[in-house]
Amino acid sequence: AMLNFNGTSAGEAVLENPPALGEGSKATVTDFAFDGKSLTAGLDIEFANNGGTAHSILESTCE
C-alpha cells in the first residue's frame, strides 16, 4: 500500500493481510502530520485470529 503525502497532514492508509502479520490481519496508519522537521503518525495493528491489537506512535526526524 502507498499513501501519497503532500502538505502538512493526511488521513489514513490501510494495509489488509500484510504478509508479515498474516491473513486476516490489518495495519492502519493514521493522523499523519509534518511540521517541517518531523513526520509523525499513529499505527494500529489488528492481529489475525482474534490475536488482539496494538497501537504505536511513529516519528521520523528530517535534518
Residue pLDDT, tens place only, 7-60: 666 677 888 998 988 899 999 988 888 888 888 999 999 999 989 999 999 999
Strand order from edge to edge, sheet including 9-16: 9-16, 26-34, 38-46, 53-61
Instruction: Judge whether 54 and 44 are in contact, CB under 8 Å.
Output: yes
What does pTM read for this prediction?
0.71
Cβ count within 10 A of residue 9:
11
Cell numbers that stand for 55 in this block: 497501537
What does the pLDDT look like over 9-20, one tens digit per residue? 667 788 899 898
Q: Which of 52, 56, 24, 61 is nearest to 43 (CA)?
A: 56
